[in-house]
Structure 1
Amino acid sequence: MREPMLVMSYFTESDEALHLALSHDGGHRFEPVDAGRPVLRGSVGTGALRDPFLGVGPDGLIHLLATDGWSSPSIVHAVSADLRSWSPQRLLPVMASVPGAHNAWAPEFFHDHTTGRYHLIWSSVVDAATPAESRDWQNIGQDHRIWSCATEDFSTFSAPEVFFDPGHPVIDATVVHDGERFLMAYKDERGINDPATSHKHILVTSFERPGGPYAPPRGPVGPSATEGPSLFRRDDGWIMLFDQYLEGRYGAARSTDGSRWEPAKVELPAGMRHASVFTMPG
């Protein structure tokens, strides 16, 4: 049987644009497209396309979501049929109605097969007392929670609401179907940017319906000072990729049950940041 083609989206530190890599062997090796050159640059908002995420929408097309810079409360959206030609980019003002919302990081979406709705998720800080411009986003952890809105058509969206709040800062949630449940990996944003910190690592939880209740977290998966998890199926289990951002490299882990994880090997493009993986429609 021919392996499905897996598509990896990512950005780089030197080029905050959409880069792609492909795997034709089921997720063991990803080869960069166009020798690692970007396939799409930002044209709205700040002009950045950070944390690019790709998924298939209700129209059967590929939908891109991306972070619009460090302190924008909107996310970037565009659509493509072939990953080459893209619709005009637009900003989705997902946090515009929330007073004191400073940002909207690492947007993704997943499909709820029980309702037919698509849930957008992202990380935001809400603090009316301190302006976004005074925050050291790159070096100091902020009080993030995971937020969400829902849509059936990517044209109209429900009001934003908190999706996941474990009582401490969290960012970079990613959600996949795992049988009758959803599996969610996320970053515990407590601690400091040091490999010896007690937090800044990836945890995993699960839920049966969007919004919880959530199972007790499991992990950590991988070392501390890790972010941007992505989950995809390989062989008979899950592969998780994670960005070891202080070390400038990527790690990977494997699990058959979403609970117990062991190191895995995946060949990846050099220099990538915050990657996501999805299966290209047949």
Structure 2
Amino acid sequence: MIKKILFVLIIATAFTSCKAQEPAYLFTYFKGNGEDGLHLAYSTDALNWKSLNNDKSILTPEVGEQKLMRDPAVILGGDGNYHMVWTTGWTERGIGYASSEDLVNWSEQQLIPVMQHEETARNCWAPEITYDAKNDQYMIYWATTIPGLFPETQSKADDGYNHRMYYTLTKDFKDFTKAKVLYDPDFNSIDATIQWDGEQYVMFLKDETREPARKNLKVAFSENLTGPYSEASEPITGNYWAEGPTALNVNGKWIVYFDKYTDHQYGAVMSEDLKNWTDISDKITFPDGIRHGTAIQVSTAELKQIQEVLVID
């Protein structure tokens, strides 16, 4: 009997330990025009997402002329802290930055003047951040239009915006390298996000071409974080306008979430090989009114701590 009890206890302990190691997921997003700040949602299956804090903002934007917090992108850095960048306004030449140990309490916000040296730069949109473990540094990247550049893809549509992806490098978020072009895919492009798949860097980005309208997501690859990146793939999204991709690798399958912004709903596609994609939009649920941000994996313990602080909707 004692041996049987011990066996049951051992199995129960192992099961509990296994369950504790199962991943959970957080989604950082904005609502409206980004005026009220950072929102969080969570998921335990990467498909069904529920808001935290009663879908109220947990961080109010404080930097930039327009003081918005659109496109909040968050990663876990090499220092064990979370680092976030965001769009501070529609026509600004800088981006917002803050860090956090727990995704609830954030550092003082700062404005990084990434394109201040380009007097004609029209914007800095949808910044993202990736940690480069090999060089122990961070790459921040975003879309900017500089009038007169890339005339081969210039159009009067979409108010004449003609974006390319730019980047800067930093080790301490105090000193930054001068911005350079990260990727010129020979089309108007925004909303890039980069993941490491174990062998190469994978860039998901939006083809922003308006004439003729494309407005879809594509994929490019590189051996190095700063490029060069391959020619962009054929569209991985369907007959709708998509933007703001963010990706998770869940049990060996890639899920790319995106904003079907003209349909006012969220979508997703899935792939095992980053070549063949299946639309799984009918299998996901998100909070009402969500606008794009970042999906990240956290531990169940981290999620529990956040839930203890923030009210679950």
Whether TM-score is above 0.5 comes out as: yes
Q: Distance in 2 between matches of 1:118 and 1:88?
A: 19
Q: How does 1:206-221 map to 2 (within 5 A)?
A: 206-221=221-236
The structure 2 residue matched to 1:158, chosen from 169, 177, 182, is: 177
User: Hey, what does 1:237 align to over in structure 2?
Assistant: 253
User: Unaligned stretches of 5+ in structure 1?
Assistant: 130-135
Q: Is the 8 A contact 1:58 1:153 kept in 2?
A: no
Q: Please give the per-residue CA displacement for 1:179-220, whole angstroms capped at 9, x wherever unaligned.
A: 12001000011126xxxx641110111111133232232231
Q: Distance in 2 between matches of 1:213 and 1:15?
A: 33
User: Unaligned stretches of 5+ in structure 2?
Assistant: 1-17, 150-155, 303-313
Quote how far apart the aligned CAs of 1:55 are: 0.9
Which letter does structure 2 place at the counterpart of 1:81? E
Bigger mean CA offset, 170-179 vs 221-230: 221-230
Q: Is the 8 A contact 1:54 1:65 kept in 2?
A: yes
User: Hey, what does 1:42 align to over in structure 2?
Assistant: 61
Which structure's CA Rg is the greater one?
2
The structure 2 residue matched to 1:145, chosen from 156, 164, 173, is: 164
* Superposition TM-score, scaled by structure 2 size: 0.81
SS at match of 2:235: strand
Bigger mean CA offset, 40-49 vs 213-222: 213-222
The structure 2 residue matched to 1:77, chosen from 97, 114, 137, is: 97
Q: Distance in 1 between matches of 2:53 and 2:196?
A: 31
Q: Distance in 1 between matches of 2:171 and 2:143?
A: 21
User: Hey, what does 1:121 align to over in structure 2?
Assistant: 141
Quote how far apart the aligned CAs of 1:31 are: 1.1
Which letter does structure 2 place at the counterpart of 1:206? F
Q: Is the 8 A contact 1:222 1:251 kept in 2?
A: no
User: Hey, what does 1:61 align to over in structure 2?
Assistant: 81
- Structure 1 residue 183 and structure 2 residue 199: aligned? no
Quote how far apart the aligned CAs of 1:54 are: 0.8
Q: Is the 8 A contact 2:259 2:267 kept in 1?
A: yes
User: Hey, what does 2:307 align to over in structure 1?
Assistant: none
Q: Is the 8 A contact 1:78 1:88 kept in 2?
A: yes
Q: Percent sequence identity over matched residues?
A: 34
Q: Distance in 2 between matches of 1:15 and 1:119?
A: 24
Q: Which has the higher helix share?
A: 2
The structure 2 residue matched to 1:272, chosen from 290, 300, 305, is: 290
Q: Which has the higher strand share?
A: 1
User: Hey, what does 1:23 align to over in structure 2?
Assistant: 43
Q: Distance in 2 between matches of 1:80 and 1:245?
A: 29
Q: Please give the per-residue CA displacement for 1:120-150, whole angstroms capped at 9, x wherever unaligned.
A: 1100011279xxxxxx99x546110000001
Q: Distance in 1 between matches of 2:173 and 2:78?
A: 8
* Superposition TM-score, scaled by structure 1 size: 0.90
Q: Is the 8 A contact 1:168 1:190 kept in 2?
A: yes
Which letter does structure 2 place at the counterpart of 1:23? S
Which letter does structure 2 place at the counterpart of 1:6? Y
Q: Distance in 2 between matches of 1:141 and 1:238?
A: 34
Which letter does structure 2 place at the counterpart of 1:44? V
The structure 2 residue matched to 1:171, chosen from 176, 186, 190, is: 190
User: Hey, what does 1:5 align to over in structure 2?
Assistant: 24
Q: Distance in 1 between matches of 2:34 and 2:131?
A: 30
Q: Distance in 1 between matches of 2:109 and 2:205?
A: 27
User: Hey, what does 2:5 align to over in structure 1?
Assistant: none
SS at match of 1:86: coil
Quote how far apart the aligned CAs of 1:14 are: 5.5
